[in-house]
Amino acid sequence: MNWGAILPVVMLAGSNLVMNVAWYGHLKAPGRPLWLAVLMSWGLAFFEYWLAVPANRLGAKTYSLAQLKTLQEVLSLTAFVVVAWVLFGQKPGVAQVAGFALIVAGAGLVFRSPL
């Protein structure tokens, strides 16, 4: 098993899950003051960086920068779908699934380059 290729992906997945909770989780408590929502989001982002920065440092040994960014974007969308579904009950519709599929197809091109 090539941990140099797998570990950065796992860490980026965790990072994006935490970041999506930081970005959207505060919407579950709209009555809280904005300053508190920002402070709590920053607190989560601190821990997110403890996953993202090492993931990129390790990942740069295996992946190109374009591949790392593409991984991050696809994982961010995946984490968003999970957070929207689990926390807010918003299942993706056909249009969203089709749009995300096109993004994944684009990611496939990045990983196949050069064509």
Nearest by Cα to 77 from 65, 89, 69: 69
Round to whole Å and give the CA distance between 88 and 10.
Answer: 24
Q: At 115, is the pLDDT very low, low, confident or very high (cuts 50, 70, 90)?
A: low
- Look-up: residue for tokens 């993931």? 55
pLDDT digits (tens, 9 = 90+) for 8-49: 999 999 999 999 999 999 999 999 999 999 999 999 999 999
Share of the chain above pLDDT 90, in %: 91
Round to whole Å and give the CA distance between 71 and 25.
Answer: 23
Segments making up each domain of the chain, as ranges: 3-112
